[in-house]
């Protein structure tokens, strides 16, 4: 998706974070599904900049007949993914966006081990 490519370029230019991307061509899925994938990626990148102090980020976008998947990983500080963070709405909003379209969001992280956010949205959703 071109919009994700622009997010990658902005992250590198504004924050000096190295980004390795593997973005498929524009997935032929309904607009609400594309928007959810974009917003989830945008929030994950925002959290990386704001909290992780990462030097390197990877982003992958893949599509097949079953789902559109976006994965963002960083080499930052990491956090306890099972902990509750009052006032921090990023993870919750990403989960809600995915769930609204029948998708799932997986977050894996641990202190000192970076973070991986993976969202998978069924390809036919959002119509």
Q: What is the mean pLDDT of each run of 10 residues along the chain (127 residues)?
A: 89 92 93 95 93 94 95 94 74 93 95 95 72
Query: pLDDT, tens digit, for every residue of 51-80?
Result: 899 999 999 999 999 999 999 999 999 988
pLDDT, residue 127, reads 45
- Give CA–CA dist 117/126, Å, rounded: 21
pLDDT confidence of residue 87: 65
Domain boundaries, the chain: 2-122
Give the pTM.
0.91
SS3 for 2? helix
Q: What pLDDT does 1 receive? A: 78
Q: Given this model, what pLDDT does residue 118 score? A: 98
Rounded distance between C-alpha atoms, residue 79 and residue 70, angstroms:
20
CATH 3.30.565.10 describes domain 2-122: yes
Which residues of the chain form beta strands (DSSP E)? 18-23, 56-63, 67-74, 104-109, 115-122
């Amino acid at each position: 998706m071109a919009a994700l490519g622009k997010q990658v370029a902005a992250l590198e230019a504004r924050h000096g974070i190295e980004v390795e991307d593997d973005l498929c061509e524009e997935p032929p899925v309904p607009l609400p599904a594309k928007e959810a994938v974009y917003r989830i990626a945008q929030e994950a990148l925002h959290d990386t900049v704001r909290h992780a102090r990462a030097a390197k980020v990877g982003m992958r976008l893949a599509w097949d007949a079953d789902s559109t998947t976006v994965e963002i990983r960083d080499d930052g500080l990491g956090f306890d993914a099972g902990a509750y963070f009052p006032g921090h709405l990023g993870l919750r909003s990403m989960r809600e966006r995915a769930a609204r379209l029948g998708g799932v969001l997986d977050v894996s992280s641990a202190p000192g081990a970076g973070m991986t956010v993976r969202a998978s949205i069924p390809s036919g959703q959002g119509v």
